[in-house]
């Protein structure tokens, strides 16, 4: 599934990525948020100078992705650190806005714990994948975090209990980054009767699977058992 990013600039940002350690200037992590209100109010608020807050991206419940601040600039989404629970921050001790990308998700549990809509989830996963590839962000809980990890006192519910962390990590690590040539090999093997179903080509092969492939080949091409 592919998504388009709509540019909707906010004045709430700092130019560039000040060198947090005076040596490198890079994007190290993604911080996920949940907005306090529904779209489009949440978008206009983040574009209002009075808010003094923003994010790089906003994903609506309809699955639309808005970009408010360029990746190479610093958005104001998680600069206040209060009782953090984040080793990456502890090792840097510098304003997290400077080395993170902030993604806001339109409020999804205002009336309970309904969670992201399916299309909102798909858009978020797609965006995560783009950023992970572009900035070589490791897929782990130190580099893809929630706002609550930065401010556990005033933002314990950002992005909230309904945020699908397990599913997101599973999907990000899963088949979404499989290259086409690997899928082509699986398809060819299936056509030839060497494997009987579709497989994730990056999955390790168990002994039974290796033996099954060999037996299939012997039966089909040597013994010619149909
Ligand atoms: Zn937040």
Could you tell me if 207 and 164 lie in one domain?
no
Residue 23 has pLDDT above 70, yes or no: no
Could you tell me if 135 and 201 lie in one domain?
no
pLDDT tens for residues 125-138? 999 999 999 999 99
Q: Confirm if 113 and 161 have CB atoms less than 8 A apart.
A: yes
Rounded distance from Cα 84 to ligand 1 centre (Å):
13
Rounded distance from Cα 77 to ligand 1 centre (Å):
6
Q: How far apart are CA 75 and CA 10, in angstroms?
A: 9
Q: 127 CB contacts (<8 Å, ≥6 apart)?
A: 3, 5, 57, 59, 65, 103
Rounded distance from Cα 32 to ligand 1 centre (Å):
7
φ/ψ of residue 220, rounded to 5: -80, -40
Rounded distance from Cα 3 to ligand 1 centre (Å):
23
- Which CATH number does the domain housing residue 87 bear? 3.40.80.10
Rounded distance from Cα 216 to ligand 1 centre (Å):
54
Rounded distance from Cα 65 to ligand 1 centre (Å):
17
Could you tell me if 112 and 212 lie in one domain?
no
Per-residue pLDDT, 109: 62
Per-residue pLDDT, 25: 61
Rounded distance from Cα 159 to ligand 1 centre (Å):
6
Q: How far apart are CA 11 and CA 49, in angstroms?
A: 6
Average of per-residue pLDDT values in the chain: 89
* Domain total of the chain: 2
Element (H or E) spanning 145, and its range? Answer: strand 144-146
Residue 21: pLDDT band with limits 50, 70, 90: low
Residues in the chain: 226
Residue 43 has pLDDT above 90, yes or no: yes
Rounded distance from Cα 226 to ligand 1 centre (Å):
60
Per-residue pLDDT, 199: 76
**Which structural domain, as residue segments, surrounds residue 116?**
5-177
Computed on alpha carbons and rounded to an integer, the radius of gyration of the chain in Å comes to: 22
Could you tell me if 65 and 121 lie in one domain?
yes
Rounded distance from Cα 173 to ligand 1 centre (Å):
24
Q: Confirm if 100 and 74 have CB atoms less than 8 A apart.
A: no
Per-residue pLDDT, 184: 83
Q: How far apart are CA 34 and CA 19, in angstroms?
A: 27
Per-residue pLDDT, 80: 94
Rounded distance from Cα 147 to ligand 1 centre (Å):
5
Q: 205 CB contacts (<8 Å, ≥6 apart)?
A: none
Rounded distance from Cα 103 to ligand 1 centre (Å):
9
Nearest Cα to Cα of residue 99 among 154, 53, 31: 31
Rounded distance from Cα 179 to ligand 1 centre (Å):
34
Return the ∠ at Cα 63 (arms to 59 and 65), rounded to 5°.
45
Rounded distance from Cα 163 to ligand 1 centre (Å):
12
Rounded distance from Cα 162 to ligand 1 centre (Å):
14
Strands 65-67 and 57-59: antiparallel
Could you tell me if 67 and 130 lie in one domain?
yes
Rounded distance from Cα 34 to ligand 1 centre (Å):
6
Could you tell me if 166 and 193 lie in one domain?
no
Could you tell me if 164 and 191 lie in one domain?
no
Q: Which residue has the tokens 């040539």?
A: 181
Could you tell me if 126 and 31 lie in one domain?
yes
Rounded distance from Cα 50 to ligand 1 centre (Å):
17
pLDDT tens for residues 136-194? 999 999 999 999 999 999 999 999 989 999 999 999 998 555 677 887 898 899 889 88
Residue 197: pLDDT band with limits 50, 70, 90: confident
Structure tokens at 159: 């992005």
Q: Confirm if 124 and 5 have CB atoms less than 8 A apart.
A: no
Average the pLDDT over 102-113 and give the result.
Answer: 78
Helices (H), the chain: 41-46, 87-92, 118-135, 165-173, 180-191, 207-217
Task: Look up residue 151 and give its DSSP letter.
Answer: B
């Amino acid at each position: 599934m592919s998504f388009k990013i709509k540019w909707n600039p906010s004045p709430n940002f700092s130019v560039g990525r000040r060198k947090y350690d005076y040596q490198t200037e890079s994007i190290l992590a993604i911080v996920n948020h949940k907005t306090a209100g529904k779209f489009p109010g949440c978008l206009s608020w983040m574009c209002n100078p009075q808010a003094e807050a923003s994010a790089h991206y906003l994903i609506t419940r309809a699955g639309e992705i808005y970009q408010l601040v360029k990746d190479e600039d610093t958005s104001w989404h998680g600069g206040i650190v209060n009782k953090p629970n984040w080793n990456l921050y502890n090792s840097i001790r510098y304003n997290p806005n400077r080395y993170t990308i902030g993604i806001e998700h339109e409020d999804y549990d205002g009336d309970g714990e309904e969670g992201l809509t399916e299309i909102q989830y798909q858009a978020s996963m797609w965006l995560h994948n783009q950023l992970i590839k572009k900035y070589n962000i490791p897929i782990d809980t130190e580099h893809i975090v929630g706002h609550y990890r930065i401010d556990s006192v005033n933002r314990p519910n950002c992005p909230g209990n309904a945020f699908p962390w397990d599913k997101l990590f599973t999907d990000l690590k899963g088949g979404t980054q499989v290259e086409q040539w690997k899928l082509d090999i699986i398809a060819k093997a299936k056509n030839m009767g060497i494997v009987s179903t579709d497989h994730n080509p990056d999955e390790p092969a168990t002994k039974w699977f290796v033996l099954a492939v060999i037996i299939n080949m012997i039966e089909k091409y040597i013994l010619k058992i149909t």
